[in-house]
Amino acid sequence: MIIIFDFFHDYIDISELQSLIEMSKSPFLVYVLPIILSVGLGTLVMAEALNDSERELDMWQIGVANNISTQTIQLIGLEAKYSVSDPIEFEIRVMDSTFNCGDLYITIYKIINSTKQVVTQSGFLNQCYITENSNLPIDNNYSEILGETGEYEILIELYDKTYQQTYSHSENLRVN
């Protein structure tokens, strides 16, 4: 039996010292090793995902990188002023023949003190319009009645099938 003198002037048996050393290994196994393994596994998964030629890493999606100017979208039948009881009806024509299928989203915001509040949002999926040479939405009529007076903004967003390219267009209107 070996006795060691510690800092608190107590005597410790060597078997107690060995158990203290073994206990100090468990926090490493419980806390540090899982963090190291998680980072390593996450790195491998991310590297494998980015090796695919169809994928890209876009962590800062502040603006749409492939946003195309509004000259490619034309709103047909949209007026600048409406009364409360009048329905807002319009169609959308896309002027780019390379952009032939995608999802259409129409969002109407009410503008109050230069802040936007969403009033309504509509989605029209799988709109293949160039092949049929028609306006959007296909096989649907967009119609909305805004029951309150005020300033509104209509945002039209058109995404291609892979969501890599976007067309967007916005118009302001007034409801009296």
Q: Mind listing the pLDDT tens digit for each residue in 25-82? A: 677 677 788 888 899 998 888 887 777 665 555 555 444 444 444 467 888 888 889 9
Architecture (CATH level 2) of domain 67-175 = Sandwich (2.60)
For residue 27, whether the previous peptide bond is cis, meaning omega lies within 30 degrees of 0, is no
- Reference 72, options 99, 54, 46; nearest CA is 99
- What is the per-residue pLDDT for 107? 93
User: How, if at all, do strands 115-128 and 166-175 pair?
Assistant: unpaired
Q: How far apart are CA 169 and CA 73, in angstroms?
A: 7
Percent of the chain having pLDDT more than 70? 70
Q: The tokens of 73 are what?
A: 């979208």
Q: How many CB atoms lie within 10 A of CB 145?
A: 13
Question: What's the N-to-C CA distance of the chain in angstroms?
Answer: 96
Q: What is the pLDDT of residue 29?
A: 72
Record the pTM.
Answer: 0.57
- Residue identified by tokens 């049929």 is 132
Span 93-109, average pLDDT? 83
pLDDT at 134: 67
Q: What are phi and psi of 27, to 5 degrees?
A: -60, -35
Q: What is the mean pLDDT of the chain?
A: 76
